[in-house]
Structure 1
Amino acid sequence: QCSLSLSRESKGSLLHTPTAYSPTLLPTPLVCAPLPPAMAPMPAPAVALAVLVLLSAVPGYFSDDLNTDAQALQALRSAVGKSALPSWNSSTPTCNWQGVTCESGRVTELRLPGAGLMGTLPSNVLGNLSALRTLSLRYNALTGPIPDDLSRLPELRAIYFQHNSFSGEVPASVFTLKNLVRLDLAGNKFSGEISPDFNKLNRLGTLFLDGNSFTGEIPKLDLPTLSQFNVSYNKLNGSIPRSLRKMPKDSFLGTGLCGGPLGLCPGETALTPAGSPEVQPAGGGAADAGGASSGTKKKLSGGAIAGIAIGCVFGVLLLLALIFLLCRKKSSSSTPATAVEKGRDLQMAPMDMEPKGQNGSAAGNGAHVGAAAAAPAAATSAAVAAAAAAAKTGGATGGSKKLIFFGPMAAAPPFDLEDLLRASAEVLGKGAFGTAYKAVMESGSAVAVKRLKDVDLPEPEFRERIAAIGAVQHELVVPLRAYYFSKDEKLLVYDYMSMGSLSALLHGNRASGRTPLDWETRSAIALAAARGVAHIHSTGPTASHGNIKSSNVLLTKNYEARVSDHGLPTLVGPSFSPTRVSGYRAPEVTDIRRVSQKADVYSFGVLLLELLTGKAPTHAVVNEEGLDLPRWVQSVVREEWTAEVFDQELLRYQNVEEEMVQLLQLAIDCSAQHPDRRPSMSEVAARIDEIRRSSLGDRPATDSAGEGEEPSL
């Protein structure tokens, strides 16, 4: 018979070891006395239950696991985040620490993206968080190998280590995590061969290894639930395993791999669905349909040969007759205007085709639609009324059979609808509001045409709204030159700008041979775009652009910026829903048809961050973690390692660091979560102008420093 006595003087026991987080009330050893003869021994389950009941009476006993978690987190902070995690202290409950999530008294999630962690992860620390399910340390400056003690985390389901500087091989401890579903190691310095032990992770659904230094061939991976896979930009070679050939081409770019989406390997032949070669080699001995071998086939008779020849001649004559009839039918078809009325195009047939060689989801979005010339005079209410009156003269409710021009072209249109429809068309890009084309007319002049989609507004309402858009005439805003409206087609005509968009310039080519965008160019683009948006806002208290993003900032040959595609969200009907959430959208926007001026300011703030960081906002969100570009920048700046934010191409210009930080602060102000805390666009333009004047006062107007050279002072 045993009893448990408690003592405040006892400093330790077999049951409990005092820590900084445990109370001083500790159990003393069990005191046992012989059982009375009449008392039978208790069954084993009853003994276990009795012990649990006794232990539950000991204060702090079951909190020992949380104390262990807290000690592990403190050790992690001491190793890689001494100044980065001020909330991790003994005066704050562990479960309230930054990035820490608890369930049932245990740490189950540790999410520290962009937290300013630096150094090497210590051994025997993370492994003590034995209830951990999610571990996210992405976008930090961690180095060295992954610690081996991850094998002590049996509940771990997601690891996000991307965009650090981890090195070495993927440790064997990772392959023991049987519950692992997502593993992202992209953008590090891992090396060695990709281990076939990944096959042990049979629940793995996402495996990202891109942007490392892995070598050799990809092993055969049979992972039944794998749906996302990327090994691009590694030093891999050989053939892509057949189990991975269903993955997109982007998963294997920048490697020496072949096969599957990258095309046939040398010496590889195309296979039939059954997996056998489509063409048998000569002399293979295969039996023909009649059972005779290929070497004993009978020769055709002279009559058979003559019959085949006559049939071929007859077929050719029939084909020529068919072509002749089709040509006659085409020549007697309806007029160009009527063809558009019926939803058909003539020489601009590519409008009905997918863009060749382009990704429809890429940053096209009408990115190349632009203005090369300035248009006079700011928009006024009188100009809007005049434009609306001009639109009303275009025809009855069925839609006019001609282009309606705005601005200076309204008096003497340089081309008509028939000229436009005879033009050759080239797809430039697809966006949320339609597809953009470059149309080269017979005269040699080029325009950009946007073919709208999802426009179900009544014609009078459409004409009223398009008139307001066409009335905005400013040197920094792409003007709407003309439009066409019918039941089946809505076309907008702009000037064509061959230099394309800011998005293409920033993200289109990052190869070593590209000319980097210097501070002067970027600040000039920011100022011009800010002034363009500010002008749109000046036309009325509710006037807004509605879709500010880098693909809607177009460039002249001198890299002068123009704001394009303003007002398009007002043209779509209530049934319109964008295909994906943009990284530029303000948090308060729920209906893209009603975007306030403050929401425009938020989007412009994201655009400034894009200019400074070189990161595309739509790529900043990684999986389900939801770290968008503004929050990532704010988290980095908060930890006082601001230099990590800027694009590497900008860090070459050390004499403008102060101005870069000032523009970064303006971008953060613009992207504030609460609309009332954002400045107006006129204030934004004024602040950029002041920052730019300050920077140009310290150095020559043109900075031509080469790669790796110090800029001239």
Structure 2
Amino acid sequence: MALSSITGFVALFVSFLLLGLRIDSEPTQDRQALLAFLSQTPHKNRLQWNSSDSTCNWVGIECDVNQSYVYSLRLPGVGLVGQIPANTIGRLTQLRVLSLRSNRLSGEIPDDFSQLMSLRSLYLQSNLFSGDFPAVLTPLNRLSRLDLSSNNFTGILPFSVNNLSHLTRLFLQNNGFSGNLPSINPLGLVDFNVSNNNLNGSIPTTLERFPASSFAGNINLCGKPLNSCNPFFPSPAPSPSNFPKTPVRKSSKKLSTAAIIAISVGSAIILLLLLLFLLLCLRKRQNRRQAAKTPKPAVPSAVTEVGTTSSSKDDITGGPSESEKNKLVFFNGGVYSFDLEDLLRASAEVLGKGSLGTSYKAVLEDGTTVVVKRLRDVSVSKREFEMQMEILGKIKHGNVVPLRAFYYSKDEKLLVYDFMAAGSLSSLLHGSRGSGRTPLEWDNRLKIAIGAARGLAHLHVPGKVIHGNIKSSNILLRPELAASVSDFGLYPLFGASAPPNRVAGYRAPEVVETRKVTFKSDVYSFGVLLLELLTGKAPNQASLGEEGIDLPRWVQSVVREEWTAEVFDVELIRYHNIEDEMVQLLQIAMACVDTVPDQRPDMQEVVRMIDDINRGDTDDGIQQSSDDPSKGSDGQTPPMEPRIPPSAVTP
């Protein structure tokens, strides 16, 4: 009896001891890893982790029931900046959920992430991560949701993604991935998105079940559910000799007398018609020669037709449609000397697929390089098309990309522009933001803003042309970063069924309702463009804090609730003494995006206001700073945040 009492006491003591250990447990190793991560990663003062409190009570931390390890780390939008330090998060080996979305984390994913073998969900979207697809993630075979969208990842997508056999949701949109799309086929994959990358080739059959929106914005991607893969220009129609011939049955019987007479009469008629046709052709050629000898009066038109040399076949057929098929229409005599056949023989490279058509870089055999825009969904007649082209061809300005020539046929509508080697503002501003990126400095941003404003103002006033499709990909740059406006005045070609400026982030509110563009809606789009220059954010990227919010409203909310400095691109923080200029340009942008069209300034007034910001007397009104952008006026590194009070801008 005494022995059983002692045994019972020992068991009760052990139970209390174990219970005490469970209550007082603390994930010591995970705590050290988290403190190391926080101490080595710059961040805003939003994380109040009290070192005297339990780790499991910290903001963004969840532990298991026994509080023996951290299984969830959620730190979205807390202002984390820079690279994830090695030997920190990778030590949380029992982690199930990791969310670091909507911060400013950059660089590559640390190698020690491969130790997170228990990870189920990883959310890294809306940061500045760069490099190839993180190979350290492919061994994490328990991962079910992976979101790397809206970063600066590049390179090809590896087939090893299929190692993530439990993956149900994969989001890779808004990056710079290139190459062919591999056959990704985890059995449980229900959500998939690779839109707005640089992928090419055909879509694998394993991914055809996903909607077209999952692949949109990849200019060289084709196949189901997108359009079928087609060549640059359609092949000419096969000649009749290439069609299969209908077999003719041999008749064992001789032809009747009536049949012989009918054939003879028919042959005579055909010969007579051929003779008359030849006589008409000879007469027509003689008339042409006489007309060529007679001086012609000058034609008061802005266009000059340049075509291929007329062949004997053209002379015989005499059909105007045949000759028109070989003609480009050049403006003002043109600066180029090539024809459509030269263009068809040129090597072509896709530059971009926009809302109105696809643009190609065409290199001719003589080395001439031009841009050919292949329009789609044109709904107007040939006469209306030519009238609009004549209006656009007359526009000449240093900040407007000139329209050099056009081609119209039933199946093809082509526009020819100068090639701008420096690319677009979109690629310069939103290109890879990895370690090798050269930041777009403030002086150049201001130079681009004034150049684009002058080009748009010229379209509005002397040209009386509404652009209708202002966006950063339509602001092209010369090597010295002088801005020129392109793709202007094309909206009348598409009718009401195809509204211009299909990139919703730039559309004025009234255009969404009325589907009609105006000079004031151009001003609104230009205001969004200025906000894009100031914030470094694309209007259509999903990193503005709330789903569905547009860039102007996001800027207004940040200015109203926080310091104005939060609005500006992180790349501008390193420059000194530009706060006032950034605020002035921000005020101009907010005036342009006023929801009431009549309250917006006209483009001439916008040009004047931006000119008032100028600090020098260079051609573009922008004086390049001679200061080292990484140093202040006293030679010290400037503070991380510009010193601008909250009241500096009124939304």
TM-score interval (norm. to shorter): 0.5 to 0.7
Distance 1:470 1:570, change over 3 A: same
Q: Does 1:119 pair with 2:33? A: no
1:596-639: CA deviation from partner (whole Å, max 9, x where unpaired):
11111111111111111222222155697122221222222223
Q: CA deviation at 1:509?
A: 3.2
**Which one of 48, 57, 60 corresponds to residue 146 of structure 1?**
60
Provide the alpha-carbon RMSD of the alignment. Answer: 5.0
The one-letter amino acid of 1:595's match is: V
Give the equivalent residue in structure 1 for 2:163. Answer: 242
| One-letter amino acid matched to 1:165 | L
Amino acid at match of 2:332: P
2:609 aligned residue: 687
Classify 1:385/1:568 alpha carbon distance in 2 versus 1 (closer, same or farther; 3 Å): farther
Matches for 1:134-173 after TM superposition, within 5 Å: 145-148=59-62, 161-162=76-77, 164-165=79-80
Equivalent position of 1:464 in the other structure: 387
* Alpha-carbon distance between aligned partners in 2 of 1:498 and 1:510, rounded to the nearest angstrom: 21
Separation in structure 1 between the aligned mates of residue 150 and residue 354 of structure 2, nearest angstrom: 29
- Written as runs of structure 1 = structure 2, the 5 A alignment for 1:463-542 is 463-539=386-462
How far apart are the structure 2 equivalents of 1:556 and 1:479?
A: 13
Aligned to 1:401: 325
Are the aligned partners of 1:242 and 1:260 in contact in 2 as well (CA < 8 Å)?
no
Pick aligned residue for 2:484 from 550, 562, 583:
562
Q: Deviations over 1:33-81 (max 9, x none)?
A: xxxxxxxxxxxxxxxxxxxxxxxxxxxxxxxxxxxxxxxxxxxxxxxxx
CA displacement 1:509-540 (0-9 Å, x = unmatched): 32334433222221111111101101111146
Contact 1:547–1:566 (8 Å) recurs in 2: yes
Q: 1:682 to 1:399 in 2, by over 3 A?
A: farther
Instruction: Give secondary structure in 1 for the equivalent of 2:511.
Output: coil
- TM-score between both structures, scaled by the size of structure 1: 0.51
Identity of aligned residues (%): 45
> How far off its partner does 1:454 sit?
1.3
Whether the 8 Å contact between 2:159 and 2:183 is mirrored in structure 1 is no
User: Could you list the per-position Cα deviations for residues 364-384 of structure 1 after superposition, in whole angstroms to 9, with x for gaps in the alignment?
Assistant: xxxxxxxxxxxxxxxxxxxx9
- C-alpha distance in structure 2 between counterparts of 1:498 and 1:252, whole Å: 23
Q: Is the 8 A contact 2:392 2:489 kept in 1?
A: yes
| 1-structure distance, mates of 2:135, 2:351 | 37
Q: Secondary structure at the match of 1:649?
A: helix
How far 1:453 sits from its partner (Å)? 1.2
CA displacement, residues 125-154 of structure 1 (integer Å, 9 cap, x when unaligned): xxxxxxxxxxxxxxxxxxx85154999xxx
Q: Residue 674 of structure 1: which of 580, 589, 596 is its match?
A: 596
1:155-554, aligned counterparts within 5 Å?
161-162=76-77, 164-165=79-80, 184=101, 187=104, 193=113, 195=116, 198-199=119-120, 208=125, 220=140, 226=145, 240=161, 242-243=163-164, 247=170, 342=236, 386-387=301-302, 400-409=324-333, 414-539=337-462, 543-554=465-476
Go from structure 1 to structure 2 and tell me whether the alpha carbon gap of 1:249 and 1:664 turns closer, same or farther (over 3 Å shift): closer
Structure 1 residues 536 and 150 mapped into 2: Cα distance closer, same or farther (>3 Å)?
Answer: farther
Change (3 A) 1:495 1:215: closer
Pairwise CA distance, 1:418: 2.2
The worse-fitting range, judged by mean Cα deviation, of 647-656 and 523-532 is 647-656
Q: Shift of the alpha carbon at 1:579?
A: 10
Displacement of 1:661 in angstroms is 0.8
Shift of 1:500: 1.0
Structure 1 residue 672: deviation in Å? 1.7
The structural deviation recorded for 1:658 is 0.8
Rounded Cα–Cα distance in structure 1 between residues aligned with 2:381 and 2:125 = 48
User: Aligned equivalents of 1:196 and 1:432: distance in 2?
Assistant: 43
**Matched residue count:** 437
Question: Are 2:457 and 2:603, in contact at CA under 8 Å, matched by a contact in 1?
Answer: yes
Report the Cα offset of residue 685 of structure 1: 0.5
Q: CA shift at 1:472, angstroms?
A: 1.7
SS of the residue aligned with 2:578?
Answer: helix
Shift of 1:692: 1.2
Aligned residues of 2:44 and 2:78 also touching (Cα < 8 A): no
1:710 Cα deviation from its structure 2 partner: 3.3
Give 1:554 shift. Answer: 1.0
Pair 1:474–1:635, CA change in 2 (3 A): same
Cα 1:398/1:463, change in 2 over 3 Å: farther
Amino acid of the structure 1 residue aligned with 2:80: S
The answer on whether the counterparts of 1:403 and 1:482 sit within 8 Å (CA) in structure 2 is no
Distance in 2 between residues matched to 1:343 and 1:513, nearest whole Å: 49
- What whole-Å deviation, never above 9, does each CA across 1:479-519 have from its counterpart, x for those lacking one? 11100000111110011111111111112232334433222
Task: Give 3-state SS (helix, strand or coil) of 1:604's partner.
Answer: helix
CA contact (8 A) 2:76 2:102 kept: yes
Matched letter for residue 435 of structure 2 = S
The C-alpha deviation readout for 1:630-664, integer Å capped at 9, x for no partner, is: 12222222235112222233233322221111011
3-state SS, counterpart of residue 449 of structure 1: strand
The one-letter amino acid paired with 1:614 is: G
Distance 1:252 1:537 in 2: 35
Pick closer, same or farther for the CA change 1:540–1:514 going to 2, 3 Å.
Answer: closer
**Structure 1 counterpart of 2:60, one-letter code:** I
Structure 1 counterpart of 2:561: 639
Specify the code of the residue in structure 1 equivalent to 2:333.
Answer: M
Q: 2:576 aligns with which of 651, 654, 664?
A: 654
Residues 563 and 212 (structure 1), Cα distance of their counterparts in 2 relative to 1, 3 Å cut: closer
| Partner of residue 66, structure 1 | none
Label 1:696 to 1:487 Cα distance change in 2 as closer, same or farther (>3 A).
closer
Question: Relative to structure 1, is the Cα distance of residues 397 and 603 closer, same or farther in structure 2, using a 3 angstrom cutoff?
Answer: farther
- Determine helix, strand or coil for the equivalent of 2:558: helix
Superposed CA deviations along residues 64-101 of structure 1, whole A, max 9, x for unmatched, are: xxxxxxxxxxxxxxxxxxxxxxxxxxxxxxxxxxxxxx
| Structure 1 match to 2:585 | 663
The answer (yes or no) to whether the contact 1:532–1:562 under 8 Å persists in 2 is yes
Task: Specify the SS of the correspondent of 1:456.
Answer: coil
Give the structure-2-normalised TM-score: 0.56
Query: What does the per-residue CA deviation read over 1:350-400, in whole Å, with 9 as the maximum and x for residues that have no partner?
Result: xxxxxxxxxxxxxxxxxxxxxxxxxxxxxxxxxx99348979xxx968892
Q: Secondary structure at the match of 1:438?
A: strand
Aligned equivalents of 1:188, 1:623: Cα separation in 2: 16
Mark the CA change 1:600 to 1:253 in structure 2 (over 3 Å): closer, same or farther.
Answer: closer
CA displacement at 1:117 relative to structure 2: 9.0
> In structure 2, do the counterparts of structure 1 residues 219 and 211 end up closer, same or farther at CA, with 3 Å as the change threshold?
farther
Unmatched 5+ stretches in structure 2: 1-42, 51-57, 66-73, 185-203, 205-232, 239-298, 307-318, 636-651
Aligned position for 1:359: none
Question: Residue 587 of structure 1: CA displacement?
Answer: 1.7
* Structure 1 gaps, min length 5: 1-115, 124-143, 152-158, 262-272, 274-338, 345-383
Matches within 5 A, 1:40-79: none
Give 3-state SS (helix, strand or coil) of 2:370's partner: strand
Letter in 1 for 2:76: F
